[in-house]
Structure 1
């Protein structure tokens, strides 16, 4: 990293610029830090390239597609301001060296390292291709090395930029020496062009040499089209598969999935040589020594709005006036975005009346959209949140002293992308709707965030923790999946003396949760082993290995179906140590499918079982829910949705204005601290990530989840 140039901005949106990571013909890449301390790489495009309207269209399309790429080995685009005079985008910052820097420093990599490199980059390209993209610039400089694997960068967006700027002047798109023959000829490219480029990268990683040599660009392009690649020095165990990637005809090359399968194999120990792992550790430490974060204070509402009916503040839980800084677990992904305004859709609501007795008919009505899966596979989750939200709306509407009435606008998207698009279009067009509570599937939510972004409509979710869903209008009302590992690390390092077996189910969620844990345990030099087992696969071999190796504890990161298989397999193998699991296992299906084998499992969750909690707020909420629903217990997520509506009311009424716009609520939500029934809600102002306190802990006992408490110090001994 180099210091910023005098021409570089001091800030890009909500990010303080700390240095310059690189530069090119179309812009610069800057190291930025959010107000809360998260590091990002910010690509700032030169303003002159934004004058072409076609560029804007392509840029918007590519950003929307790139946000759907899900791979642990691809650094995603997490935000972009496509409308700024100088468009920009932010990605996760990876402190490790590029593959090019590593090979220049240490020479070719060992065969096992090349195999892991190829398999994981193939997986990343598979995700890129599935999202409808072609990378077109796979090269060593676009591969960053982290302690747990490589990261592919600059996918998707390069296509938007290059289509406008380079194609118009008949310049070959890509990097000579690492592009395919069809690219060298200026022809049409597809997914297998990326496979050829990856083959060049793997040959370079194995030998330290470019397979088509160096020299004048014209000579390199000629050799790429007509000559056989130089494969001398490639280990024989890798030669066949790399040579297949370098076939001249695209149809003769493997697919990304085929290449991944060919390279996947057993890998023991670290994936990189010790000197490169040391370099990564040194660069990570350097990032922690960067200039301190600029002090910030949350904007507290001007009006002290009373809490929900009958709920009084507890003396032992004061609402904080200053949000404490928090360091993320070392190695956990820090996906950050810029906060933005949004179209101000002013509402007066003169003709609307709120639900609930006692509501004054002449108050303007604050409409809250509720997009949910109410008839599909996520119906139980959607209905639970609807019931909690409606209870909050009715309580708020019954308060005659407040300036607004409230109503909930419900739309059912069945958890599918098509109905989700229709639902989002309707809510975005309804100018009385000033915020949306999303209780739908992750796939459906991800498909409509761009639409809500364009409308400037704030979106809140209490159940979706996918970090790739972050954008300028989305606020996550729960701790992210990586942060759930903080108390687990403290438990394992403080209570367990043996090794830990960390198992994930091969899904993005499983990787997200277990990656942070693995990084923290490795940093603390705690003994651990890892395994990946698909949810529908045989878990017996992994369970038996855990018993043979005398693993003191097992951490399962994955969904309820795989967790149930793991539980039964551990019981059959005779495991007697602790077993821990995360958010996704806090699901009644786990109890049903695992049966007695679930007993004793410890679960960390972002959801509070209000009926089992002892706080005054939880007791009051539970009583109100039972009164409304015929003595039925509040289901999981009802309390969180109830909190979300009250949070919006606190923000709206705290503004002290007779009318509220969408653009008013977004920054207010992100700078407000609110003590709810289930959590203390606080957020990173720049990107809407959750920074409050909100983890609950459970032990499976007698076939049910027994609430242990809301602090990790309450883990059982």
Structure 2
């Protein structure tokens, strides 16, 4: 990192600028830190591009699309302001070196590392192409190396620059020596162009040389178009696929999915990089510890009405153990809030109280109507959770509308998206087009939530999620009303430490959810607790669970933690039971599903389940709610019903705290993030910067026993 220049800003939006990471033709890359302490790389666009209206339109579009790229090996765009005088975007900061730094010293990577690199970068490109994008600048400088894998950066920007830059004489998008023949000739390009560039990167990683040589740009471009690549030194086992990537014929190149499949490699339990590179990564990470201290965050309390539970949130002071966990999870890649333009929408005026709305009593005819949307999976794979949210939300609406002193009537509109991305987007459009809706509860599934955030952001419509904690799902309108996927593992770390357990078998089933929970727990145990982690990979849908379980038990783990969903934990639990293993067995919220109990049978007994959903029938704080739910629906309140009840009441409390006859969507966005609320399931508070849940008692333990999940509350010492 270089010192700041006199022309560099000291602050960009909510980020304190710490130094320069680099500079290029389109602008400068700065290292920034949020008020919450997370590091980001901020790309500040040069003035000549900022003044081009066409570029701004493309930049706005590409940033929006780039936010939808969700893959563990692609560094996400987490914040941006496309309308600023100098537009900028921020991505997750990776402290590791670029591939060009690691190999540029004359140290090519060994065959195993190149194979792993190719498989993981292909997976990243598969996600980029799946989002309808072409990277256009895959090169060693855009590949950052981490201990767990590479990170592809700068997707979503090259296409925004394309039309602008190509109007200049002799200008070429991409980096000579790593671009495709079609790029060199200025022809239309697609995903195969990125595959050609990937082939160049892999050849460079294996040999330390560019496959089309160096020298004048014109000479490199000529060789790229007409000459065969120099692949001398590429290991024989890798040569066929690298050659296929570098075919001049676009139709002959493999797809990203094909490369990922052919070069998939299990890197669990060992470093995928040679020792000199891991030492370089460690050195870069150590430098980050010497950065300036975090500045304190000021929380502003919204104006509240007597009786409304809208106490201001105060900066949290974690216990030492949790502070350590927060430190290393941030270093591992926590993401930040996204920005953008806002649009004001008003609630409906004086009306009929919402007659005909489901959950609306219709008893008051003079109060204004406040619309709340509920987007949920009511008939798909997660319908149990979706229906629980729907019923909890309806109870909250009825309770509010029954109040004599309520200043407005709540109107709940529910849409079933079935957990499908296309239907989710249609549901979002319905709510964004309805001017009476000022906030939305949903969506149930991670895929549906990711599909709609851009639409809600464009409409400045707040989204409160009680089920989705994906660390990639974040922007200025999103509130995660539960600890995110990484932070739900904090009590697991405490549990393992309190009980003196070591040699922790940590199983990743190669899904994005599993990656998030296992990655952060692994880093925490190794860094904060100095524990030995037996990193294991058991792909989802594997066939021979028994053989895998026996191999695992032979390593004598002190505890087993599985990061997958119930579909994978259930057969693994049956296989583990056959081995006679008696140590602690822990699963995450993805296994907190009755289907785990049914499929695992007696093998589920003894499993400890971590969940962000309270059991209303067992938690004292939710007793009244549990009884009201049973009276209304003739059944026990399921997980996430109480959380949905709280979310609706939180939204209503925030509106009441504004004390206005009409409330805009824009008014509500900042208020939700600076309000604390004592719910029946747990206390609610949010990080002002990124909308993540920061309240206490947000994670709960359950013990599987006799076909039931038995609620154990939150204290690891008592589990």
TM class by shorter chain equals over 0.9
Distance 1:654 1:406 in 2: 15
Say which SS state the counterpart of residue 159 (structure 1) adopts: helix
* TM-score normalised according to structure 1 size: 0.93
Given the superposition, is the C-alpha separation of residues 433 and 239 from structure 1 closer, same or farther in structure 2, using an over 3 Å criterion? same
Alignment partner of 1:517 is 2:516: no
**Equivalent residue runs for 1:22-61 within 5 Å:** 22-61=22-61
1:57-86 deviation digits (Å, cap 9, x = unpaired):
433332333223222111122333333333
Partner in structure 2 of residue 120 of structure 1: 120
**Equivalent residue runs for 1:214-233 within 5 Å:** 214-233=214-233
Partner in structure 1 of residue 574 of structure 2: 568
RMSD: 2.3
Partner in structure 2 of residue 238 of structure 1: 238
1:345-394 deviation digits (Å, cap 9, x = unpaired):
12253014156669643222221111222233332222111111111111
Partner in structure 2 of residue 666 of structure 1: 669
Say which SS state the counterpart of residue 21 (structure 2) adopts: strand
Contact 1:359 1:399 in 2 (8 A): no
The range that moved more, 386-395 or 223-232, is 223-232
**Equivalent residue runs for 1:400-439 within 5 Å:** 400-439=404-443
* TM-score normalised according to structure 2 size: 0.93
**Equivalent residue runs for 1:111-190 within 5 Å:** 111-167=111-167, 169=169, 171-190=171-190
Say which SS state the counterpart of residue 484 (structure 1) adopts: helix
State the 1:168 CA deviation: 5.9
Contact 1:502 1:514 in 2 (8 A): yes
1:21-74 deviation digits (Å, cap 9, x = unpaired):
222222222222222111111222234424444334433332333223222111
Partner in structure 2 of residue 399 of structure 1: 403
Distance 1:352 1:43 in 2: 50
1:571-619 deviation digits (Å, cap 9, x = unpaired):
12322221111111011111111111111111111111111113xx311
**Equivalent residue runs for 1:144-543 within 5 Å:** 144-167=144-167, 169=169, 171-267=171-267, 269-303=270-304, 306=307, 321-324=314-317, 326=323, 327-330=326-329, 331-339=331-339, 342-353=342-353, 360-523=364-527, 524-538=529-543, 539-543=545-549
Distance 1:115 1:79 in 2: 32
Distance 1:358 1:655 in 2: 24
Contact 1:434 1:457 in 2 (8 A): yes
Partner in structure 1 of residue 640 of structure 2: 637
Aligned residues: 704
Say which SS state the counterpart of residue 467 (structure 1) adopts: coil
Distance 1:480 1:270 in 2: 27
Given the superposition, is the C-alpha separation of residues 297 and 711 from structure 1 closer, same or farther in structure 2, using an over 3 Å criterion? farther
Distance 1:320 1:61 in 2: 35
Say which SS state the counterpart of residue 237 (structure 1) adopts: coil
Partner in structure 2 of residue 558 of structure 1: 564
Distance 1:168 1:379 in 2: 54
**Equivalent residue runs for 1:67-86 within 5 Å:** 67-86=67-86
Given the superposition, is the C-alpha separation of residues 130 and 216 from structure 1 closer, same or farther in structure 2, using an over 3 Å criterion? same
The range that moved more, 33-42 or 484-493, is 484-493
Alignment partner of 1:593 is 2:594: no
Contact 2:119 2:261 in 1 (8 A): yes
Distance 1:188 1:609 in 2: 56
1:414-449 deviation digits (Å, cap 9, x = unpaired):
322333233222211221111111133322232222
1:641-700 deviation digits (Å, cap 9, x = unpaired):
111111112211112223211111110111112221222212121221222220011111
The range that moved more, 560-569 or 432-441, is 432-441
Stretches of structure 1 that go unaligned for 5 or more consecutive residues are none
Say which SS state the counterpart of residue 456 (structure 1) adopts: coil
Contact 2:560 2:584 in 1 (8 A): yes
Stretches of structure 2 that go unaligned for 5 or more consecutive residues are none
Contact 2:493 2:525 in 1 (8 A): yes
Distance 2:361 2:72 in 1: 50
1:507-539 deviation digits (Å, cap 9, x = unpaired):
111111111122223334422222322332122
Given the superposition, is the C-alpha separation of residues 341 and 137 from structure 1 closer, same or farther in structure 2, using an over 3 Å criterion? closer
Say which SS state the counterpart of residue 612 (structure 1) adopts: coil
